[in-house]
């Protein structure tokens, strides 16, 4: 173990030294290039546009230009934001762990199907909140996006019930009144392929349209070598197709009014996981089954807004979504499933003032209705009907009390009605499911900022987060349905924002402590070689740590960034499972470190890369030694060459050192009992061409 870690550190140090050497050479060489500074970073995820330096919440923002230039070989949001401090993906098919909280929600595995679930933090895509299956087994395209904002810590006041861990806001590009187009073609090992197209044009002087198409895929890197392996009709490879059409209307005869219609279609194929058996780095699996997921989602969003030109503005967003999900195992009676889901929501918001006003703010109301029908073939037929209604009434006011003091207060009333009924196979449960509950919560947020100087702002933040309760099936002890309570958290943060060296260096830091009541956690249960998850409440839990980000522009040709995340978690009181008291949260690394940059060597040739380190952690709430994960380091490099002002050739190597290491360990499915390890993707190499027209 020691030799392995020493080797990792030596290789990582070599790469970091190389990046540092590039920095030293370039900073001196480009001193005479003139004045350079960082572009302002605008945050939209808190219902109002703010400069990141004026935002108290801990947030990392990835601009569209940054994604286009540096996130090559990374087609979706998950791969783009990997390395964000205290945001950790433990599998290639998964949702992020944010500050130690699993954003997929309280349930995972079979109980997510039996009990129904909602995410703890989800992706808000142009106003559409991804549900559990879309978030976990889908893929959100990173093509033609204007920004990705990653919030850490509860965002319940602004985003609603599904944001106790944080939020990921994805804003795609809106139509413009200029003709433009873009494309990308990409190929690599493991049959990596990607084809993307964007076209934008004015249809009149009042109406513009934009279409974005993105296809990506690759073969799984796991070899299924077991003699008992049963293939399913979906398979284990990865594919994603996303199409998006937007219309923007700005009537000449009605100044201040704007309407936007967004239509999108997504079709994804994914396995349940990419896991291998020992020896893990051979990337072979002796499992009997590896289910495949085929998911289609259609979404329509209508936005309308009116600026009254007196400091007030009114906006409304109406969205509807239709989903169809198929899960296939290979042996139909071992877990084939179908899910159909429909949802609609409406949000109305009135805002007043702006960043230059003494007082500014907003108030709004949000309502959503969701229905879902589930069918499962395992140990007999089980069927479920799920209905949820969500109401949020919220507001926020910012008072710039004096030249240097800013006070912001927010409040949200949240009401969530959950109804789930179903007929269940007696193999799993002693009775059918009949659950109905309403949860209500008042969620305040307060921040105070002090401008020490034009270059430095410090402050404090207090906010409350909440996630509704639900029902879980105890597969082993009683085979009974057991309700679990809503979880709440008080979040306390100190923050600092600095813009230094003539706006060439930006430092953003948040120190946090989170105090949980009735924290929702999972325990593992095994039946006939299959592992199930049961959700219960921990009376008290806590986490604390630090997030620090640095962006530096030493010259016009060089950009550097670094991030550090520190985290300590503890289940301090757990009367339902006393043996877990004192344990760490599952899949919660204590240290995350990243360093990256982009160097324009000439006006045509560029180099870029990122190195990121993740410390060790436990895969499960029990902190089982058998499921402990060692720390690891991943390095990505890319190079591009401009053939012309409109065409670039590029290449990339993701996981340069071919670090093949487990990221999650758990009991595998099937009759052959073994510990399955989800793995880092092996070295991925590819080339591509991108351009505009």
In this predicted structure, what is the pLDDT of residue 476?
Answer: 74
Q: How confident is the model at residue 369 (pLDDT cuts 50, 70, 90)?
A: very high
Position of tokens 């900073």?
27
The candidate with the shortest Cα–Cα distance to 152, out of 86, 54, 61, is: 86
Band of the pLDDT at 30, cuts 50, 70, 90? Answer: very low
Contact 536, 523 (CB under 8 A): yes
| Contact predicate 8/631, CB 8 Å | yes
pLDDT at 16 > cutoff 70: no
Tell the residue number behind the tokens 């990392």, with chain if given. 60
Q: Taking residues 139-152, report their average pLDDT.
A: 96
Q: What one-character DSSP code corresponds to residue 54?
A: G
Report the pLDDT averaged over residues 582-604.
97
- Stretch 599-613: mean pLDDT, rounded? 97
Q: What is the pLDDT of residue 4?
A: 41
CA distance 114 to 106: 13
Whether the pLDDT of residue 546 is over 90: the answer is: yes
Nearest to 576 by CA among 530, 535, 626: 535
Token look-up 């100190």 returns 494
| Nearest in space to 86 (alpha carbons), one of 75, 96, 76, 71 | 96
pLDDT digits (tens, 9 = 90+) for 81-125: 998 999 999 999 999 999 999 999 888 878 888 999 889 998 999
Return the pLDDT at 119.
92
Where are the extended beta strands (E) located within 308-404? 312-328, 334-352, 359-378, 381-399
Mean pLDDT, the chain, as a whole number? 92
23 falls in which pLDDT band (50, 70, 90)? Answer: very low
Residue 9: per-residue pLDDT: 40
Q: Per the structure block, which two tokens stand in for 659?
A: 């670090």
Contacts of 527 (CB under 8 A, 6+ apart): 475, 476
**How much is the pTM?**
0.92
CA proximity to 457, closest of 15, 54, 42: 54
Mean pLDDT to the nearest integer, 238-257: 98
Range of lowest pLDDT (29-33, 362-366, 515-519): 29-33
CB atoms within 10 A of CB 24: 10
Q: DSSP per residue over 433-453, as a string?
A: EEEEEEEEEEEEEEEEEEEEE
- Residue 109 has what pLDDT? 79
| Site of tokens 């944010």 | 98
Overall size of the chain counted in residues: 693
The pLDDT tens digits for 654-690 are: 999 999 999 999 988 665 689 999 999 999 999 999 9
7 pLDDT above the threshold of 60: no
Sequence-ordered list of residues with C-beta below 8 angstroms from that of 10, at least 6 positions apart, any chain: none
Higher model confidence: residue 364 or residue 523?
364
Alpha-carbon torsion 34, 35, 37, 39, what sign? negative
Please name the fold of domain 2-184+292-619: Maltoporin; Chain A (2.40.170)
Rg of the chain on CA atoms, in Å: 25
The whole-number average pLDDT for the span 336-357 is: 96
Indicate the helix (H) or strand (E) that contains 570: strand 558-573
| Contact status, residue 33 vs residue 546, Cβ threshold 8 Å | no
pLDDT above 70: residue 552:
yes
DSSP string, 198-254: EEEEESSSSEEEEEEEEEEEE--S-EE--TT----SS-S-EEEEEEEEEEEE--TTS
Distance from C-alpha of 244 to C-alpha of 546, rounded to nearest angstrom? 37
């Amino acid at each position: 173990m020691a030799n392995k870690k020493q080797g990792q550190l030596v290789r990582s140090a070599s790469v970091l030294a190389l990046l540092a050497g590039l920095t030293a050479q370039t900073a001196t060489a480009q001193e005479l290039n003139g004045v350079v500074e960082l572009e302002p970073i605008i945050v939209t995820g808190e219902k109002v546009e703010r400069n990141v330096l004026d935002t108290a919440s801990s947030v990392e923002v990835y601009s569209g230009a940054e994604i286009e230039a540096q996130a090559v070989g990374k087609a979706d949001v998950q791969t783009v934001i990997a390395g964000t401090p205290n945001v950790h993906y433990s599998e290639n098919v998964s949702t992020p762990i944010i500050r130690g909280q699993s954003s997929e929600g309280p349930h995972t595995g079979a109980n997510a199907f039996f009990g129904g679930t909602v995410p703890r933090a989800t992706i808000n895509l142009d106003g559409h909140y991804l549900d559990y299956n879309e978030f976990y087994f889908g893929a959100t395209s990173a093509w033609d996006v204007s920004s990705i904002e990653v919030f850490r810590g509860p965002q319940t006041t602004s985003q609603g019930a599904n944001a106790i861990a944080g939020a990921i806001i994805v804003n795609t590009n809106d139509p413009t009144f200029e003709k433009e187009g873009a494309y990308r073609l990409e190929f690599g090992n493991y049959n990596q392929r990607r084809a993307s197209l964007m076209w934008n044009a004015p249809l009149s002087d009042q109406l513009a349209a934009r279409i974005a198409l993105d296809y990506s895929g690759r073969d799984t890197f796991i070899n299924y070598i077991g003699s008992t392996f049963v293939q399913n009709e979906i398979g284990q490879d990865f594919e994603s197709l996303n199409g998006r059409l937007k219309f923007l209307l700005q009537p000449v005869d009605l100044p201040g009014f704007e309407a936007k219609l967004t239509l999108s279609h997504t079709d994804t194929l994914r396995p349940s996981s990419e896991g291998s058996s020992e020896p893990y780095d051979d990337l072979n699996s002796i499992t009997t089954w590896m289910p495949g997921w085929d998911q289609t989602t259609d979404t329509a969003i209508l936005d309308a807004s009116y600026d009254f030109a007196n400091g007030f503005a009114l906006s409304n967003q109406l969205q509807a979504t239709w989903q169809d999900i198929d899960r296939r195992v290979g042996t139909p009676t071992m877990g084939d499933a179908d899910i159909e889901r429909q949802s609609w929501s409406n949000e109305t918001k009135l805002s007043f003032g702006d960043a230059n006003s003494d007082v500014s703010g907003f108030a709004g109301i949000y309502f959503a209705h969701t229905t879902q029908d589930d069918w499962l073939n395992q140990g007999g037929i089980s069927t479920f009907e799920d209905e949820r209604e969500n109401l949020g009434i919220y507001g926020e006011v910012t008072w710039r009390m004096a030249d240097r003091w800013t006070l912001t207060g927010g409040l949200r009333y949240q009401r969530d009605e959950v109804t789930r009924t179903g007929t269940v196979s007696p193999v799993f449960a002693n009775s059918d499911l009949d659950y109905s509950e309403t949860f209500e919560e008042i969620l305040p947020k307060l921040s105070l900022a002090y401008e020490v100087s034009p270059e430095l702002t410090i402050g404090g933040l207090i906010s409350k987060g909440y996630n509704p309760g639900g029902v879980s099936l105890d597969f082993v002890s009683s085979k009974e349905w057991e309700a679990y309570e809503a979880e709440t958290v008080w979040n306390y943060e100190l923050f600092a924002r600095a813009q230094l060296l003539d706006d060439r260096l930006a430092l953003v830091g948040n120190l946090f402590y989170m105090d949980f009541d009735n924290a929702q956690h999972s325990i593992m249960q095994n039946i006939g070689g299959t592992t199930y998850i049961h959700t219960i409440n921990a009376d008290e839990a806590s986490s604390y740590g630090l997030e620090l980000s640095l962006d530096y522009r030493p010259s016009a040709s060089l950009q550097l960034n670094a991030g550090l995340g520190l985290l300590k978690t503890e289940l301090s009181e757990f009367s339902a499972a006393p043996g877990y008291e004192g344990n760490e949260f599952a899949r919660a690394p204590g240290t995350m470190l990243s360093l990256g940059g982009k160097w324009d060597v000439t006006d045509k040739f560029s180099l870029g890369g990122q190195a990121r380190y993740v410390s060790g952690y436990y895969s499960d709430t029990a902190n089982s030694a058998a499921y402990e994960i060692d720390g690891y380091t991943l390095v990505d490099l890319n190079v591009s060459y401009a053939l012309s002002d409109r065409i670039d050739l590029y290449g990339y190597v993701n996981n340069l050192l071919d670090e093949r290491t487990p990221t999650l360990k758990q009991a595998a499915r099937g009759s052959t009992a073994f510990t399955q390890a989800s793995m880092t993707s092996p070295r991925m190499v590819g080339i591509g061409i991108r351009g505009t027209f």
